[in-house]
Chain A
Amino acid sequence: MPALGVDFGSSTTLCALADERGARALPVGVGSPFMPSAVALSEDGRLLVGEEAVSVLRAAPDRGIWNLKRLVGQAEGVELGGRTFELELLLSALFRRLRERAEALLRSPVRGAVLAVPAGFTHRQREVLARSASAAGFEVRRFVNEPTAAALSYVVGRGLSGRALVVDFGGGTTDVSLVEHEEGVFEVMESRGLPVGGFDLDEVVADWMADLFRRETGLNLRRDPVAFGRLMAEAEEAKKAFSQAKSVRVLIPMVGALGEEVLDLDLTLAREAFERRVEPVFERVAALALEVLGSRPQCPPDLVLAVGGSSLTWSFVGYLSRRLGLPVKRGPDPLEAVALGAAIEAASLEGRGFDFLLVDVLQQSLGVEVEGGRFLKVIPRGSKLPASAEMVFTTVEDGQREVEIHVLQGEEELACRNVSLGRLLLRDIPRGRRGEVRIKVTFRVDESGMLSVSAVDSKGGPSRELKLSFGVSPRGSRAGRVLSEEALAEVQFEEAYRSLVALSAALEPSHRVRLEECLKRSRSLMGEGDLSLKVSLSRALNEASAKLRSLLG
Chain B
Amino acid sequence: MASRFDYYEVLGVARDASPQEIKRAFRRLAKLCHPDVGRPSSYRYPFEVVAEAYRVLSDPASRREYDRTLDRSAGGARGGEVARGEPVRRGGARAGPSPRVSFWSRLKSSYRSFRIGSVISSLERSIDEAERLFRERSSSELRLEEGLDPVEVLCRAARSSNPSLALQALRRLREHLLHPRAADAVLEVLRCASSPMVLEEAIALCGFMKSPRKLEALRRHLLGEDKRIAAMAASAMATCGPSAVPHLLEALGSHPEVALAALRELRGKFAEFLTPADLLPLLRSEDVSLRVEALKALSTFKEQREVASAIRSLGEFDGHPLVRFWARKLLEF
A residues at B contact (CB < 8 Å): 182-185, 187, 297-298, 349, 357-359, 382-384, 386-388, 446-447, 485, 507-508, 510-511, 514-515, 518, 521-522, 525, 529-533, 535-537, 539-541, 543-544, 547-548, 551-552
Provide the residues of chain B in CB contact with A359, threshold 8 Å. 30, 34, 51
Given contacts A511-B117, A518-B123, A532-B133, contact A184 B55 (CB under 8 A): no
B139 an interface residue at 8 Å Cβ cutoff? no
Contact indicator A540/B34 (Cβ below 8 Å): no
Interface residues of B in 16-53 (CB under 8 A from A): 19, 23-24, 26-28, 30-31, 34-37, 47-48, 51
Provide the residues of chain B in CB contact with A357, threshold 8 Å. 30-31, 34, 36-37
B1 an interface residue at 8 Å Cβ cutoff? yes
Contact indicator B147/A384 (Cβ below 8 Å): no
B7 an interface residue at 8 Å Cβ cutoff? no
B235 to chain A, nearest CB (A): 32
- Among candidates A447, A510, A541, residue contacting B36 with C-beta atoms closer than 8 Å: A447
Kindly list the 4 A-B residue pairs having the minimum CB-CB distance in the complex, ordered from nearest. A540-B126, A384-B51, A544-B123, A536-B130
A140 to chain B, nearest CB (A): 15
B197 an interface residue at 8 Å Cβ cutoff? no
Contact indicator B47/A525 (Cβ below 8 Å): no
We find that the number of chain B residues with CB closer than 8 angstroms to chain A is: 41
Provide the residues of chain A in CB contact with B1, threshold 8 Å. 485, 531-532, 535
B224 an interface residue at 8 Å Cβ cutoff? no
Contact indicator A518/B55 (Cβ below 8 Å): no
CA of A133 to CA of B137 in the docked complex: distance in angstroms? 53
Contact indicator B36/A508 (Cβ below 8 Å): no
- Among candidates A298, A388, A511, A530, residue contacting B120 with C-beta atoms closer than 8 Å: A511
Contact indicator B116/A533 (Cβ below 8 Å): no
Given contacts A514-B124, A535-B1, contact A383 B119 (CB under 8 A): no
A82 to chain B, nearest CB (A): 47
- Main secondary structure on B side of the interface with A: helix
Provide the residues of chain A in CB contact with B70, threshold 8 Å. none
Provide the residues of chain A in CB contact with B35, threshold 8 Å. 386, 446-447
CA of A446 to CA of B1 in the docked complex: distance in angstroms? 26
Provide the residues of chain B in CB contact with A551, threshold 8 Å. 112, 115-116, 119
Known contacts A508-B95, A530-B137; 14 additional CB pairs below 8 A are A182-B23, A183-B27, A185-B26, A297-B147, A298-B60, A357-B34, A358-B36, A359-B30, A384-B55, A510-B94, A522-B127, A525-B130, A525-B134, A540-B126
Contact indicator B131/A525 (Cβ below 8 Å): yes
CA of A447 to CA of B30 in the docked complex: distance in angstroms? 13
CA of A485 to CA of B3 in the docked complex: distance in angstroms? 13
A-B contact pairs, 17 of them (CB 8 A): A183-B24, A183-B27, A185-B26, A297-B147, A357-B36, A359-B34, A383-B55, A384-B51, A446-B35, A511-B120, A515-B120, A518-B127, A529-B134, A530-B138, A533-B134, A544-B126, A551-B115
Contact indicator B27/A182 (Cβ below 8 Å): yes
Provide the residues of chain B in CB contact with A386, threshold 8 Å. 35, 47-48
B residues at A contact (CB < 8 Å): 1, 19, 23-24, 26-28, 30-31, 34-37, 47-48, 51, 54-55, 60, 94-95, 112-113, 115-117, 119-120, 122-124, 126-127, 129-131, 133-134, 137-138, 147
Closest residue on chain A to residue B60 by CB atoms: A298
Provide the residues of chain A in CB contact with B34, threshold 8 Å. 357, 359, 447
- Among candidates A531, A533, A552, residue contacting B133 with C-beta atoms closer than 8 Å: A533
Contact indicator A544/B119 (Cβ below 8 Å): yes
Contact indicator B130/A537 (Cβ below 8 Å): yes
Provide the residues of chain B in CB contact with A522, threshold 8 Å. 127
Provide the residues of chain B in CB contact with A552, threshold 8 Å. 116
Contact indicator A518/B124 (Cβ below 8 Å): yes
CA of A359 to CA of B34 in the docked complex: distance in angstroms? 8
Contact indicator B120/A518 (Cβ below 8 Å): yes
CA of A105 to CA of B190 in the docked complex: distance in angstroms? 75
CA of A384 to CA of B54 in the docked complex: distance in angstroms? 9
Most A Cβ at <10 Å: residue of B30, B124, B127: B127
CA of A518 to CA of B116 in the docked complex: distance in angstroms? 14
CA of A282 to CA of B134 in the docked complex: distance in angstroms? 47
Provide the residues of chain A in CB contact with B127, threshold 8 Å. 518, 521-522, 525, 537, 540
CA of A507 to CA of B95 in the docked complex: distance in angstroms? 10
Closest residue on chain A to residue B162 by CB atoms: A528
A550 to chain B, nearest CB (A): 10
CA of A537 to CA of B124 in the docked complex: distance in angstroms? 11
B110 to chain A, nearest CB (A): 11
Closest residue on chain B to residue A444 by CB atoms: B48
Provide the residues of chain B in CB contact with A515, threshold 8 Å. 120, 123
